[in-house]
Structure 1
Amino acid sequence: MDDNLRTINQARGFFQTIRDQMGTHVCNTCKLFLTSRVKLASLYNRRIFLLGCRSNRVFPNHIINNIKQILSLQIDEHPYRSNVDLIMKTFRKSVLNVEIKITAWKIRQFEGRIQRLRDQLTTTIDNSTYETLVDIANTRFRREFSNIKSKNVNKLKTLKNQQIPPLPITTCDKYIANYTNITISNEVKTILGLGPKFGLPPKHIPMETIIKDIESFIKVQPITEEEKNTYRSKSVNIVSNYKKRERHTRRNNTMDKYLKDTTKFIREHQDITISRADKGGATVLMYKEEYQSGVEKMLSDENTYERLQSDPTPKIQRHTNKYIKTLKDENYITETEYKHLIRHNSIAPKLYCLRKVHKNTLSLRPIVSCIKSPTYKT
């Protein structure tokens, strides 16, 4: 408080000196420069706050309170509540976006005004007086920015607590096996503890990809063309109905935030690997270096593994395709089955390991994935 009073008294004496020596007009121009800088600090904070509201999918109280006159439409029991919720949410988002644009426009206006005042003052007052004025303005700017920032941080935290409902999922440490020294937040634990089989709702439905995959699957099935068309029609209806329903379904903002926090955690810790455990459904976090050294140690056992001089994948693919063609030529399989089994551009099977969490020392279970290998579908 003493520093604030000292700054205020310094500014008063400074402006009085300018008024006495250079006149009222110059003094008012200096004051306008100072107040514009203070206002700019407020606008910067307002933009940060509004962008924070948008990224966290919450709305400031002034937006919510100003449309309370139609709150009864949300409270009353009627079959159109979901429509009202969607309209309210869309309207609030639109108002928030417009307010962000207006704030950005005001910032540009004030930045332009401050620059014009700078140009005017540099030709009106001496360098020493101008530097003193800039120092006072910067001090006021930093103090105003800091005060408003601390208030907005608390305000945003309150809005998130009020508007983001808690997830109906409890964080359970028994589903997380952390073999690193990294501290994991509860939000990240919640997502990682769900396991790889938990279905997360997608933000965007890739309609073309889904229809293409469905068509590729239906095309190789040993059924008549009429049956294929029936399944095509049913599949497209299911996907279309889901997409229509998704437009009117409110997403869980808390889940989105937890996913965002988890993605950020993974991006910031490139030195760890995340996988499922060998048994129990837990999620394992361990350092990549430890994982790689464990796999290399396991593969170094010459009694179990043998190093090959070349990749046998192309040779195995040729032999497999030749055998499948023989089965087709001798009418053991149909043309459709032949197309389903035949392989092109095969890749070698891939090895990965799952950690055995029930053992105290590092112990890995090898798993061989044969997806896209020559014998994948045989």
Structure 2
Amino acid sequence: MHIAYNKNFHKIKRENLKKIDDLCRKKRNQIDIQEKWLKNLSNKTLPETVRNILSLGSKFSIPTTKKDIKVDSLIADLEYVLLGVTEDRRDVLRAQATNTITNFTHGNNNRSSSIQKWYKDAKKFLKDNDDLIVLDSDKGGVTVIMNKSEYERKIQSILDSKEFREVPKDPTQTIQNKCNKFITTLCERGYISDQQAKQMKTYNSTCPRIYGNPKVHKPDNPLRPIISSVNSPTSKLAKFVADILKSAYNPNNDYYIMDPFDFANQINDFQLPNNHKIASFDVVNLFGNLDKNNIIKILEKKWEQIQEHANIDKELFLEITLFILENNYCTFRGKFYQQVFGCAMG
């Protein structure tokens, strides 16, 4: 009886697994790849499999294998993320993460697929051609391939402009200490709790890094500079200020547009009057042209509105905001640069 049951069980299991494989294969064959999703600005020809995988975009999910997982690094990253979670939830999240990692590492998830082959081919090609760089476009969701030398030249030209100046050493530690002093002041004055202060302070900050997204819709494909401030010394203090300003902003005005879908709804069925024309203006370097002194003046002017959402005195709020605006900096090619005019995009 037991033998017959096992025999039928494994037969049904094989049939079901075959159905799943057939469905997965059918789904893979339905992947839509279009040439417009990939822009090759380099001087090299890309193999077909490399073009296929890169055309899917940076947000396309590639099946992860056990070889891709470094458990030690994964646990370290998990512990870092848990620093931003209240202590009473950490053990539960650790247990859930441990269960997920264990199930994955002991499961059967190493099945080969055409996408995995494309992925391996692309990894090998990019490793063998380390003079190329893969980027996201500024608009349109296009993947861009550039010669690394051309990309670095364009980034360097941005850093050599009047908006930036080179500084002799990494200012991260100095800025981190000043941020922590501001957080201590906020805590001592009762504007934040001890727990909030503990979560906001940083002791292992990293220097922000600049990168660029090519504007493939413009001549010569200029770069939009973006400064990644993840784990930077000012990131948590800046979020504290940004949350207050976001709460204080009133979207009920004639100039507010939530997103492109909102804009489309607003102009839907709009009839252009006679003798009128529609003009579209392109803002050049929006964040980079914002003067920090004007920003502070506007905040002072709007303080009565901001104060309703800020448990903090005006002088300290403006001092912290000005400090953040004056300490936009980044690193590139081992050198350090401070943004002396405008705000960082990132």
Q: Report the TM range for the smaller structure's normalisation.
A: 0.5 to 0.7
Mapped partners of 1:315, 1:81: distance in 2 = 64
Deviations 1:175-198 (A, max 9, x none): 111112311122111111122222
Contact 2:63 2:116 in 1 (8 A): no
1:366 Cα deviation after fit: 0.5
1:309-337 CA-to-partner distances (Å, cap 9, x unmatched) read: 44432221111111112223334333332
Aligned to 2:240: none
Q: 1:174 aligns with which of 24, 29, 36?
A: 36
Letter paired with 1:251? R
The Cα of 1:164 is off from its aligned counterpart by 12
Higher RCO by CA contacts (8 Å cutoff, separation 6 or greater): 2
Instruction: Provide the C-alpha distance between the structure 2 equivalents of 1:270 and 1:284, rounded to a whole number of angstroms.
Output: 15
Structure 2: stretches of 5+ with no match in the other structure: 1-6, 20-24, 238-346
Change (3 A) 1:239 1:336: farther
Sort the Cα spacing of 1:78 and 1:311 in 2 relative to 1 into closer, same or farther, 3 A.
closer
| 2:217 corresponds to | 358
Distance 2:42 2:224 in 1: 19
Q: Deviations over 1:96-119 (max 9, x none)?
A: xxxxxxxxxxxxxxxxxxxxxxxx
CA contact under 8 A between 2:83 and 2:199: conserved in structure 1? no
Residue type matched to 2:12 in 1?
H
Q: Quote the Cα distance in structure 1 between the aligned partners of 2:172 and 2:202.
A: 11
Match of 1:106 in 2: none
Please give the TM-score of this superposition, normalised by the length of structure 2: 0.56
2:223 matches 1:367: no
Structure with a larger share of its residues in strand: 2
1:193 maps onto 2:52 in alignment: no
Contact 1:171 1:186 in 2 (8 A): no
Are residue 261 (structure 1) and residue 132 (structure 2) matched?
no
In the TM superposition, what is the alpha-carbon distance from 1:201 to its structure 2 partner? 1.9
The 3 A distance-change label for structure 1 pair 229 and 301 is closer
**2:31 alignment partner, SS class:** coil
Alpha carbons of 1:207 and 1:314: their partners in 2 closer, same or farther (altered >3 Å)?
Answer: closer
Q: Deviations over 1:186-226 (max 9, x none)?
A: 211111112222222222144444344334433542353xx
Provide the rounded CA distance (Å) in 2 between the counterparts of 1:184 and 1:164: 26
Structure 1 residues 206, 311: CA separation in 2 closer, same or farther (over 3 Å shift)? closer
Rounded Cα–Cα distance in structure 2 between residues aligned with 1:231 and 1:345? 23
Give me the whole-angstrom Cα distance separating, in 1, the residues matched to 2:159 and 2:80: 38
Letter matched to residue 44 of structure 2: I
TM-superposed CA distance for 1:272, in Å, is 1.6
Whether the 8 Å CA contact 1:222–1:337 is kept in 2: the answer is: no
Q: Hey, what's the Cα distance between the residues in 1 that align with 2:177 and 2:171?
A: 10
Find the residue that maps to 1:306 and give its secondary structure.
strand
**Is structure 2 residue 77 aligned with structure 1 residue 213?**
yes
Code of the residue aligned with 2:85 in structure 1: it is Q
- Taking the aligned partners of 2:204 and 2:78, their CA distance within structure 1 comes to 22
CA contact (8 A) 1:324 1:341 kept: yes
Residue number in structure 2 paired with 1:35: none
Q: Does the residue aligned with 2:166 lie in a helix, a strand or coil?
A: coil
- Would you say the 8 A contact 1:349–1:368 is kept in 2? yes
Identity of aligned residues (%): 30
Match of 1:78 in 2: 12
Q: Contact conserved, 2:41 with 2:147, CA < 8 A, in 1?
A: yes
Quickly say closer, same or farther: Cα 1:331–1:223, change in 2 above 3 A: farther
Over 3 Å counting, the alpha-carbon distance change for 1:341 and 1:177 in structure 2 is same
How far apart are 1:240 and its partner, in Å? 3.4
1:278 to 2:103 alignment: no
CA distance in structure 1 between the partners assigned to 2:207 and 2:83 by the alignment: 26
1:167–1:254 CA contact under 8 A, matched in 2: no
Instruction: Give the greater-gyration-radius structure (CA).
Output: 1
* Structure 1 gap segments, 5+ residues each: 1-72, 86-162
Q: How many residues align?
A: 225
CA displacement at 1:173 relative to structure 2: 0.8
- Structure 2 counterpart of 1:290, from 126, 132, 150: 150
Alpha-carbon distance in structure 2 between the residues aligned to 1:250 and 1:306: 49
Q: What residue identity is the alignment partner of 2:164? A: Y
Deviates most, 261-270 or 207-216: 207-216
**What amino acid sits opposite 2:116 in the alignment?**
D
Secondary structure in 2 aligned to 1:284? Answer: strand
Label 1:216 to 1:351 Cα distance change in 2 as closer, same or farther (>3 A). Answer: closer
